[in-house]
């Protein structure tokens, strides 16, 4: 064996060793990631995504949703919901996330949340509001979905973002994430399990109360929606993807009981921005 | 003119018939919207009442058994259909669009169904617009202070029936 052959042999052996090492790392990482995601409440901590990844995912979904229903063209209205929403979000565990709120141009009665702090209320729902506390309650329910990572959990379980992409996400930029999400915003209207909706309701009334609002804003608007005719197409999607308002009110009644007595939260009715 | 009169009558009639409700559980009717206020009567579930007004978590009601305040979550509002028509009429009047019959055409209001959501494509300009209205934490705090909203401590609620 001459020197050259020996050199080639060593390089080849090293390369092989390196490759095996990489493959081993990859497998290990995959197993770690799988274990992490299987942990109960694993979504409560970052659920496998960094905050930047979560925001990138949310931004893509929000942009898709806005592609279906753009923002109502009223700067003052949009600023108003951001002021109210951000104040409510400040009372949550994620006060420093950059929260975005918007009223979208749809006659449907609905509200949506995407990961990373993107929250939307339809014009149809906004028009039903009687005071600022009801707006705060609606936004607080959606904030509840974001801080509990309800939608992110679905994305993780689904095929849209599998474990592999989680690993890739570590090495690639945000643009890859948007490619993985692709178009479509049906995730915002995916039925969460009933427990997640009731949980978001319970979080919602507490966040509104913490923010100094009348905690009964959310139940109030649920009462309003609850007696909207169920055959009305404006509530079709909402009723399909959420438990009936009467069931939500019953659960809230049990959970709230007399706990909110004497809080004297404000309805801030006079300040509710009137939509054109 | 005739139409206007008819419209006014329509609204007045609807407002009168407006709020009726039904108790969904047995609860006390009290003299004031407080849990320690004097009990006037106790209504069984499925009692029809008339709702007069709302104050926080309480409704002021009138019933055959007595009038006073009852917990909001012990009641469900009823007879909705009678109210929705005139209310949207009123809203239309306020926005100056009543009677044009072109609300849908002029404002482009439309519903959002699952098909539309599935087919939706990313709109970069809209995202930029959305971000242009974002409020900072400090900004929101200032705005809250204007309405004298004060932050207060409160624990999250346990799931009913789970940890007691």
Contact B45, B53 (CB under 8 A): no
Q: Do A63 and B84 touch (CB under 8 A)?
A: no
pLDDT cut 70: percent of chain A above it: 73
Q: Is the pLDDT assigned to residue A181 strictly greater than 70?
A: yes
- Tell me if chain A has a CB within 8 Å of the CB of B110: yes
User: CB within 8 A of B28, min separation 6: which ones?
Assistant: B39, B40, B41, B42, B43, B70
Q: What is the pLDDT of residues A192-204, one digit of tens each?
A: 888 999 999 999 9
pLDDT tens-place string over residues B17-74:
558 999 999 999 999 999 999 999 999 999 999 999 988 899 999 999 999 999 999 9
Chain B residue numbers touching A79 (CB-CB < 8 A):
133, 135
For the cut 50, the answer to whether the pLDDT of residue A229 exceeds it is yes
Sheet holding B66-71, edge to edge: B39-43, B27-30, B66-71, B58-63, B48-55, B20-23, B75-78
Domain membership of residue A67 (yes or no) is yes
pLDDT tens digit sequence for A253-271 = 999 999 999 888 999 999 9
Taking the Cβ of residue B115 and every Cβ of chain A, the question of whether any pair is shorter than 8 Å is answered with no
Q: Is residue A18 part of a domain?
A: no
Size of interface A-B (CB pairs under 8 A): 227
- By Cβ distance, the residue of B109, B130, B153 closest to A102 is B130
Angle CA(A21)–CA(A26)–CA(A30) in degrees, nearest 5? Answer: 150
Rounded to a whole number, what is the distance in angstroms from the first to the last CA of chain B? 63
Nearest to A189 among B35, B76, B117 (CB): B117
By Cβ distance, the residue of B25, B130, B153 closest to A100 is: B130
Locate the chain B residue with the closest alpha carbon to A123: B109
Residues in chain A closer than 8 A to B140 (CB atoms): 82-87, 90
Domain span holding position A67: 51-271
b/e map of A215-253 (b: 16 or more CB within 10 Å)? bbbbbbbbbbbbbbeeeeebbbbbbeebbebeebbbbbb
- The pLDDT of residue A241 is 86
Mean pLDDT, all residues of chain A = 81
Mutate which of B87, B144, B150 to disrupt the A interface (most A C-beta within 10 Å)? B144
Tally of structural domains, chain A: 1
Q: Please report the residues numbered 45 through 104 in chain B whose beta carbons come closer than 8 angstroms to any beta carbon of chain A.
A: 54, 56-57, 71-74, 76-81, 84, 91, 94-95
* A201: in domain: yes
Stretch A229-249: mean pLDDT: 83
Q: Is residue A59 pLDDT above 80, yes or no?
A: yes
Cβ neighbours around A263 below 10 Å, total:
18
pLDDT tens sequence across A104-143: 999 999 999 999 999 999 999 999 999 999 999 999 999 9
> In this structure, what token pair is assigned to residue B18?
């407006």
Q: Out of A103-117, A216-230, B79-93, which region has the weakest mean confidence (pLDDT)?
A: B79-93
A243 or B81, which is more confident: A243
In the structure, what pLDDT confidence band is assigned to residue A7 with cuts at 50, 70 and 90?
low
pLDDT value of position B113: 80
Interface contact A224-B77, CB threshold 8 A: yes
Q: Which residue carries 């809209």 as its tokens?
A: B126
Q: Is B145 on the interface with A (CB under 8 A)?
A: no
Q: What is the pLDDT of residues A158-179, one digit of tens each?
A: 645 554 454 445 444 556 666 6
Q: Which residues pair with A122 in a beta bridge?
A: A104
- A-chain CB neighbours of B91 within 8 Å are 127
Q: According to the model, what pLDDT value does residue A72 have?
A: 97
To probe the interface with A, which of B84, B85, B112 has the most A CB atoms within 10 Å?
B112
Window from A186-190, B67-71, B84-88 with minimum mean pLDDT: B84-88
Cα A21 from chain centroid (whole Å): 38
C-beta atoms of A91 and B73 within 8 A: no
pLDDT the model gives residue A131 = 96
Residues of A in contact with B60 (CB under 8 A): none
Domain boundaries, chain B: 1-19+80-100, 20-78
B120, B124, B162, best to mutate vs chain A, most A CBs in 10 Å: B120
CA gap A156, B50 in Å, rounded: 48
Range B20-78 classified under CATH 2.30.30.40:
yes
Nearest chain A alpha carbon to B155: A206
Distance of residue A31 Cα from the nearest chain B Cα, in angstroms: 32
- Highest mean pLDDT range out of A32-41, A239-248, B97-106? A239-248
Domain annotation covers residue A4: no
Q: Report the alpha-carbon distance of residue A242 to residue A4 in Å, rounded.
A: 71
Q: What's the rounded Cα separation, in Å, for the pair A80 and A237?
A: 26
- Over residues A18-22, mean pLDDT: 48
Least confident piece of the model among A265-269, B84-88, B160-164:
B84-88
Token pair in block for residue A182 = 């692709």
Looking at residue A232, what is its pLDDT? 76
pLDDT interval class at A154 (50, 70, 90): confident
């Amino acid at each position: 064996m001459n020197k050259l052959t020996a050199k080639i042999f060593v390089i080849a052996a090293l390369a092989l060793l390196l490759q095996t090492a990489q493959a081993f790392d990859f497998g290990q990482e995959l197993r770690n990631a799988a274990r992490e995601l299987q942990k109960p409440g694993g979504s409560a901590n970052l659920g496998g995504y960094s905050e930047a990844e979560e925001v990138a995912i949310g931004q893509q979904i929000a942009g898709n949703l806005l592609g279906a229903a753009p923002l109502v063209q009223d700067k003052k209205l949009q600023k108003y919901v951001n002021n109210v929403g951000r104040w409510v979000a400040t009372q949550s565990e994620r006060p420093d996330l950059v929260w975005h709120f918007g009223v979208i141009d749809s006659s449907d009665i609905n509200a949506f949340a995407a990961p990373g702090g993107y929250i939307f209320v339809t014009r149809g729902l906004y028009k039903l509001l009687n005071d600022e506390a009801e707006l705060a309650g609606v936004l607080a329910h959606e904030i509840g979905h974001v801080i509990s990572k309800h939608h992110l959990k679905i994305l993780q379980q689904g095929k849209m973002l599998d474990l592999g992409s989680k690993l890739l996400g570590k090495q690639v930029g945000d643009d890859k994430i948007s490619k993985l999400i692709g178009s479509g915003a049906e995730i915002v209207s995916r039925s969460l399990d009933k427990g997640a909706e009731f949980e978001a309701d319970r979080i919602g009334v507490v966040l509104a109360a913490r923010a100094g609002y009348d905690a009964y804003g959310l139940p109030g608007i649920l009462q309003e929606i609850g007696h909207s005719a169920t055959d009305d197409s404006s509530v079709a999607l909402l009723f399909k993807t959420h438990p009936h308002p009467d069931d939500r009110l019953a659960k809230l009644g049990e959970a709230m009981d007399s706990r909110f007595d004497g809080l004297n939260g404000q309805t801030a009715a006079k300040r509710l921005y009137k939509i054109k | 003119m005739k139409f206007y009169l008819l419209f006014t009558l329509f609204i007045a009639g609807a407002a009168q018939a407006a709020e009726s409700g039904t108790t969904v559980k047995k609860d006390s009717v009290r003299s004031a919207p407080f849990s320690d206020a004097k009990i006037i009567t106790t209504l069984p579930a499925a009692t029809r009442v008339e709702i007069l007004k709302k104050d926080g978590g309480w409704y002021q009601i009138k019933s055959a058994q007595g009038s006073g305040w009852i917990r909001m979550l012990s009641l469900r509002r009823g007879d909705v259909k009678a109210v929705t028509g005139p209310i949207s009429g009123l809203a239309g009047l306020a926005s100056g669009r009543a009677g044009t019959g072109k609300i849908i055409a002029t404002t482009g209001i439309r519903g959002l169904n699952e098909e539309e959501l599935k087919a939706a494509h990313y709109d970069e300009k809209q995202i930029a617009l959305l971000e242009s209205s974002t409020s900072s934490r400090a900004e929101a705090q200032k705005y809250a202070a204007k309405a004298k909203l004060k932050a207060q401590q409160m624990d999250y609620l346990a799931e009913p029936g789970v940890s007691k």
